[in-house]
């Protein structure tokens, strides 16, 4: 039995492709290992979204290629970078034995067999959500409801990499979710490039609210949350379903990118500053304890000092509970890359630092309001020194947001939901004691 090791780079949507690929190998009688030095085959699922991700993917492939000097016989690359640059990579990286594009996933096993020469006991040929191996532990799993994107933001290469928006059928998504629940998963994190557009392509109207309602009916699921909700598609129906369902976390992840109308128009965003403000106010009015996370971009081509100041003042005013910022990355093949008024790298860096410094102040202020409050949390693991449980509340997305450190007792409560009282804060994290 051959050993296979995996490296998954990039976003949670990429991770799901990795999990399905692990499932494919497992169903074809391969042994899955975590140590690349023990692997006969190493599969790297690459990201190619922005320049830094490309560099990480190339460096990872070169690092994994070193294991071919030992036990490893085959190195396979798949994912975003391969989709964008397969022909160039074939020429530049002879160390890699097989490159697989997204458009070739339907025939992925035929390609793998052609390289490694294994064709016995074949049971599966295609990637399948229902056969994936969850790699995020026993508590939560990502649930992808659609692939691709139709939004065509001028800075983004995703549509050219992942293609047009294609929703999974509700029946398929629910079957996936029920299998996850049966395996013991307690939290479902619903993802897509834009979750709010779910269903439009196959049902003629958005059906995210209905889907979330159905997910809440699944036995064993304690929390449901959804990410990447574009502001222009957040409807009263969606707000209402979050408000009425106790299982749905009062958490909205809304990537606004900017607040200046001029910049938003150049980005080809469908919202303007006024509608963004109105949406945020509406959500906070209807769900008082809601947590709102956003992402913003600085240094987009043509962004003036006035545009940046408008964004800065808006962040100060809006006091987002969570905020991530990133500097514009000039990506070949995107309309924004052709705009002449590119912002100087040092200006981008300065603006990024100012936004993050401001958000640090906002976060410190936000966290103080939770001291003394009682929250339901999921105890996920113990800290390295054993003194605390590392926990999350409805306010915290794994690997993105902060955590809550809960003082330990002698009980073994990992994987359990408990009530805690917040006693303090530390940077982006909270400290609590079990009630």
- Collapsed DSSP state (helix, strand, coil) of residue 77: strand
Neighbour tally for 387: CB within 10 Å: 10
Q: Write out the E strands in 187-305.
A: 187-191, 223-226, 251-253, 291-298
Which fold does the domain 374-434 belong to in CATH?
OB fold (Dihydrolipoamide Acetyltransferase, E2P) (2.40.50)
Of the candidates 403, 399, 400, which has an alpha carbon nearest to the alpha carbon of residue 390? 403
pLDDT in tens, 405-429: 999 877 788 999 999 999 999 878 9
What is the tens place of the pLDDT at every residue in 76-99? 999 999 999 999 999 999 999 999
CA distance linking residue 98 with residue 186, whole number of Å: 37
* Average pLDDT, integer, range 167-179: 97
pLDDT attached to residue 102 = 86
Percent pLDDT > 70 in the chain is 98
CATH topology of domain 3-129: Rossmann fold (3.40.50)
What would the mean pLDDT of 328-336 be, rounded to a whole number?
A: 93
Reference 215, options 254, 193, 248; nearest CA is 248
- Tell me the average pLDDT of the chain: 94
The pLDDT tens digits for 348-405 are 999 999 999 999 999 999 999 999 999 999 999 998 888 899 999 999 999 999 999 9
Instruction: Please say whether the beta carbons of 227 and 191 come within 8 A.
Output: yes
Find out whether 80 and 100 touch, Cβ atoms under 8 Å: no
Q: How many residues does the chain have?
A: 435
Greatest extent of the chain over all pairs of C-alpha atoms, in Å: 65
The pLDDT of residue 408: 83
- Least confidently predicted of 103-112, 215-224, 373-382: 103-112
Determine what percent of the chain is predicted with pLDDT higher than 90.
84
Tokens of 133: 């191996």
CA neighbor of 44 nearest in space, from 85, 75, 88? 75
Banded pLDDT at 160 (limits 50, 70, 90) = confident
Residue ranges of E strands in 273-321? 291-298
- Label residue 116 by pLDDT band (50, 70, 90): confident
Tokens of 397: 């997305």
Topology of the domain comprising 133-368: pyruvate-formate lyase- activating enzyme (3.80.30)
pLDDT beyond 90 at 130:
no
Amino acid 125: pLDDT: 67
pLDDT digits (tens, 9 = 90+) for 395-410: 999 999 999 999 987 7
pLDDT tens digits for range 22-37: 999 998 889 999 999 9
Question: Is the pLDDT at 50 greater than 90, yes or no?
Answer: no
Cα–Cα distance for residue pair 195/230, rounded to 1 Å: 8
| 256 pLDDT tier (thresholds 50, 70, 90) | very high
| Average pLDDT for 211-234 | 97
Q: In the prediction, which pLDDT does 124 show?
A: 63
By C-alpha distance, which of 44, 48, 95, 46 is closest to 68?
A: 95
Which sequence spans correspond to the domains of the chain?
3-129, 133-368, 374-434
190 touches 180 (CB < 8 A): no
Q: How many CB atoms lie within 10 A of CB 9?
A: 21
User: Residue 418: how many CA atoms within 13 Å on its side-chain side?
Assistant: 24
pLDDT tier for residue 195 given thresholds of 50, 70 and 90: very high
Q: How far apart are the first and last CA of the chain?
A: 50
In terms of DSSP H, where are the helices of 105-225? 108-116, 158-162, 170-182, 200-203, 208-215
If you write DSSP's letter for every residue of 80-140 in order, what string do you get?
HHHHHHHHHHHHH-TT-SEEE-GGGGGGHHHHHHHHH---TT----S--GGG----S-SSE
Radius of gyration of the chain (CA): 22
Bridge pairing between strands 404-407 and 322-327: unpaired
Tens digits of residue pLDDT in 196-205 = 999 999 999 9
Rounded distance between C-alpha atoms, residue 310 and residue 313, angstroms: 5
- Give me 334's structure tokens: 């995107």
Q: What is the pLDDT of residue 32?
A: 96
| The pLDDT of residue 267 is above 80 | yes
Residue 120: per-residue pLDDT:
53
Task: Pick the more confident residue, 208 or 49.
Answer: 208
CA-based nearest residue to 170, from 233, 213, 231, 224: 213
């Amino acid at each position: 039995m051959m050993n296979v090791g995996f490296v998954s780079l990039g976003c949670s949507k990429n991770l799901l492709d990795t999990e399905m690929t692990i499932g494919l190998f497992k169903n074809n009688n391969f042994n899955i290992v975590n140590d690349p030095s023990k692997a006969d085959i190493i599969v790297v699922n690459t990201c190619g979204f922005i320049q830094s991700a490309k560099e990480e993917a190339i460096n990872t492939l070169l690092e994994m290629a070193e294991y071919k000097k030992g036990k490893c016989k085959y190195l396979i690359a798949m994912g975003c970078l391969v989709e964008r640059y397969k022909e160039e990579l074939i020429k530049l990286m002879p160390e890699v034995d097989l490159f697989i594009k997204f458009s070739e996933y339907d025939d992925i096993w035929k390609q793998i067999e052609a390289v490694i020469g294994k064709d016995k006991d074949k049971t599966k040929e295609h990637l399948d959500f229902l056969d994936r191996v969850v790699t995020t532990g026993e508590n939560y799993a990502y649930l992808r409801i659609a692939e691709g994107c139709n939004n065509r933001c001028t800075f983004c290469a995703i549509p050219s990499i992942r293609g047009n928006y294609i929703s999974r059928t509700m029946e398929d998504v629910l079957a996936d979710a029920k299998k996850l629940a049966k395996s013991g998963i307690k939290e479902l994190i619903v993802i897509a490039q834009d979750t709010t557009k779910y269903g439009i392509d196959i049902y003629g109207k958005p059906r995210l609210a209905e889907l979330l309602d159905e997910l809440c009916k699944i036995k064993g699921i304690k929390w449901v949350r959804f990410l990447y909700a574009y502001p222009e598609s957040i409807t009263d129906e969606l707000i209402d379903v979050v408000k009425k369902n106790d299982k749905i976390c009062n958490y909205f992840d809304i990537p606004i990118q900017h607040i200046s109308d001029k910049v938003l128009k150049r980005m080809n965003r469908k919202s303007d500053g006024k509608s963004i403000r109105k949406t945020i106010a509406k959500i906070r009015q209807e769900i008082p304890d809601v947590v709102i996370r956003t992402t913003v971009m600085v240094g987009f081509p043509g962004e003036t000092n006035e545009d940046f100041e408008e964004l800065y003042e808006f962040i100060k005013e809006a006091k987002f509970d969570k905020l991530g910022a990133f500097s514009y990355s000039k990506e070949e093949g995107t309309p924004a890359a052709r705009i002449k008024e590119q912002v100087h790298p040092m200006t981008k860096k300065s603006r990024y630092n100012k936004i993050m410094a401001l958000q640090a102040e906002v976060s410190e202020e936000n966290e103080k309001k939770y001291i003394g409050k009682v929250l339901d949390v999921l105890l996920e693991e113990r800290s390295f020194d054993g003194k605390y449980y590392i926990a999350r509340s409805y306010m915290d997305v794994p690997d993105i947001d902060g955590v809550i450190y809960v003082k330990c007792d002698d009980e073994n409560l990992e994987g359990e939901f408990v009530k805690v009282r917040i006693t303090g804060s530390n940077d982006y994290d909270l400290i609590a004691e079990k009630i």
